[in-house]
Chains A and B, each alone.
Chain A
Amino acid sequence: MTGPLRLERRLDTPKWLKLAVPLVSIVLAAIIVGILLAATGHNPFSTYHQMYSASVTADGALTSTFVYATPMLFTGLCAAFAFRMRTFNIGGEGQLYMGAVGASAIGLVFGDWPRPLLIVAMVVGGALAGMLWACIPGLLRAYLRTNEILTSLMLNYVAGFFMYYLIYDSTSYWRDLTTPGASVFPTGKTLGANATWPGITIGSFTLPMGFVLGVGLAVGLLLLIRGTRYGFEMRVMGDSPQAANYAGIRTKRKIVSVMAISGGIAGIAGSSQIGDFGHVLDPRGLEQAQYGYTGIVVAALALYNPLAVVLVSLLIGGLTNAGFALEGPSFPTGLVGTMEGIILFTVLGGEILARYRIGLRHRAIAPASVGRAPATEMSS
């Protein structure tokens, strides 16, 4: 017995259902969160209205939604790409930290380089730092079969403490030791003007360069996954590692390279944090933002499709933006994660249910062939 519900795999999911399920899931999530809000003494309708205003319509709201969406776009792509091959890199958080460390080092050391060259160097530097950090769990996974979920996660904490050490507990190159009060309130060195990434400003709205870069990356990843031998081998490995072995795919190399690319993308999120927004290595700010973990939410909601990651990053970016803008007694920070979790539950559940027909279990046992589609593929 496997319970009173019976799930029967659909042979193909109708198109209307594919569209309806995510929409119904999000509406359902909104209802559940509304009940939670009402239960804890808040008016759900005015809260939702405030959130919409704070993330879309208010002055500068859309600009800050993109500020939050940009890192999530990268970390979302980081998770989506790796998860696609069932390599569960949840180290995006630490890879982002290391990317920020790498990019800020380059921005500081080569501050007098011409601006375009310096920006490219910062992107590459952040990506390399993230890649190297992701290679640790990647190599362990490939050659020792060590669980990459746990090792990549543990390294997030290690990277976090490393960043704290650089700014708060050492006389490292990243730390500002010159200004008065620097020993009481430790901060990182601020990067020069050449290391500031340009944004595209339309009226009062500014599109960060990082977001444009991220969209380009999303398109590139989609082409890589759908249109190349590399991507084909990835998908085979994701569906069946045994089949991949039989087919002669070099699975070990593939795991390391997928982890490296995934980590590199998260590293660019760190570059963008430095170049687009912070211009200084700020361990506390990066840690509190939790962009790496949120990237997993983004990737899962996007069902690991790189282009969908772009849209979902804006949705979750808007939610996070509203969370910070409204932060206070009536809108605690914890509400953002709670909402993300509930949306995840309904979307994940809905996505699976769309693939099955649900019915109550019947006692009677039908002959094996009854109700099955005729095996047309076999008859030719």
Chain B
Amino acid sequence: MNSNIVIAVVVSAIAFGTPLVLAGLGELLAERSGVLNLGVEGMMLMGAVTAFFVSQKTHGSTALVLLLAVLASMGAGVAMALIHAFLSITIRVNQIVSGLAVTIFAGIIGLSSYLGQVWNIGGVAGRHQFNGIDLFGLQNLPIVGPIIFNEDAFVYASWVLVLAVLYYLYRTRPGLYLRAVGENPAAADAMGINVTAYRYTHTLIGGAFAGLGGAYFTLALAPIWTDGLTAGFGWIAIALVIFAFWRPDLLVLGAYLFGVFSALGPTLETRGITVLPSEFYSALPFLMTVIALAAASTSWANRRVGTPASLGIPYTREEG
């Protein structure tokens, strides 16, 4: 019984952690190039609403519809990221304000809600969704079966993406250039690296990842559209990048840890265990984020922090 609960929490933690992994990886890439994007929550909501619209209104086999929905969500994320990139990179609006503006524009009372209503997709159950795959026929193995070998394609894709980002960042030349742009754009520029192009590219990739993170909500986690359904996950993803010290490997661990905090309440509640009020469990991920951020800024952690030195600072050759 007790081990069942633990497995249930872990399985559910992976589900809640997956959008954090995806959106967090995207934010990590953008920040590594020196662009802080506070628009993640808005970009996720746009990804979620677009993916759900496509999955509801497109006809075809489930696999094809889901593929189109996923691509659409990435497109929506890229479109939002393009606004932020243009404002913050090209015309050098304060990145914090620009990112907040994107979240307000696309957020809970913004474009995502508007489109949800115009497209008339609110409150109805999804027609297609990602289901668990019995990977290698191993889903009945004890413990690891349900946790590792019975996830949906989205989760497996997120694992592949983590490895891809790790390889890209530390083992390829563009990855090295990316880190150079984030640490010292003037030096990178002198080396002949196109700083603007790197920043644009990685901000847009970040948008695509955030869109994917949003799509996970409406295509896998809970296939339904309601305004503001990402419920702060975009913000937790941004915080994750900080206390993962801008490292993809730690980011995954952090995302699943926060998945546990998010999963605890619903799992206990469905089993009738109500020791603490449900609001406490709902608030837990946010409280823990504050604590984790504080812990990551103590002097012990500060020695390890890999904040890209140019994060949030626009680059201009003339003034630099």
Contacts and interface: CB of A to CB of B under 8 A. Distances in A.
Given A157-B232, A161-B283, A353-B91, A344 B105 contact: yes
6 contacts: A144-B298, A146-B294, A153-B235, A158-B283, A300-B100, A348-B87
Nearest to B122: A332
Nearest to B232: A157
Interface of A: 1-3, 5, 7-9, 40-41, 83, 88, 90, 136, 140, 144-147, 149-151, 153-155, 157-158, 161-162, 164-165, 169-170, 290, 293-294, 296-297, 300, 329, 332-338, 340-342, 344-345, 348-349, 352-353
A334 B46 CA distance: 12
B283 A338 contact: no
Contacts of B116: 334
Nearest to A358: B91
A136 B196 CA distance: 37
Nearest to B317: A2
B254 to A, nearest CB: 13
Contacts of B293: 140, 146-147, 150-151, 154
A337 B107 contact: yes
B286 interface: yes
Interface of B: 38, 83, 87, 90-94, 96-98, 100-102, 104-118, 194-196, 227, 232, 235-236, 238-239, 242, 277-280, 282-283, 286-287, 289-290, 293-294, 296-298, 302, 315-319
A341 B104 contact: yes
Given A136-B290, A293-B104, A154 B235 contact: yes
A37 B101 CA distance: 20
A2 B294 contact: no
B97 to A, nearest CB: 5
Given A7-B91, A337-B104, A337-B110, 20 more contacts: A2-B196, A41-B118, A140-B294, A144-B298, A147-B239, A165-B279, A165-B280, A169-B277, A290-B109, A332-B113, A332-B114, A333-B227, A334-B116, A334-B227, A337-B107, A337-B108, A337-B109, A340-B105, A348-B94, A353-B91
A158 B318 CA distance: 45
Contacts of A164: 279
B83 A337 contact: no
Contacts of A165: 277, 279-280
Contacts of A170: 277
A337 B113 contact: yes
Contacts of A333: 109, 113-114, 117, 227
A348 B98 CA distance: 8
Contacts of A340: 104-105, 110
Contact of B105 (A83, A147, A158, A338): A338
Most buried by B among A41, A161, A169, A342: A161
A334 B277 contact: no
A335 B114 contact: yes
Given A144-B297, A349-B93, A334 B111 contact: yes
Contacts of B194: 1
Nearest to A337: B110
B279 A169 contact: yes
Contacts of A140: 290, 293-294, 297
B113 A144 contact: no
A83 B196 CA distance: 27
Nearest to B195: A2
A8 B319 CA distance: 10
Most buried by B among A147, A170, A341, A348: A341
A352 B114 contact: no
A157 B118 CA distance: 28
B196 A3 contact: yes
A326 to B, nearest CB: 13
A169 B278 contact: yes
Contact of B279 (A136, A144, A162, A297): A162
A276 B108 CA distance: 26
A164 B282 CA distance: 11
A1 B193 CA distance: 9
A5 B106 CA distance: 27
Contacts of B105: 337-338, 340-342, 344-345
Contact of B290 (A88, A154, A297): A154
B60 to A, nearest CB: 25
A157 B101 contact: no
Given A162-B283, A340-B105, A150 B289 contact: yes
A140 B235 CA distance: 18
Contacts of A290: 108-109
A344 B102 CA distance: 9
A353 B114 CA distance: 30
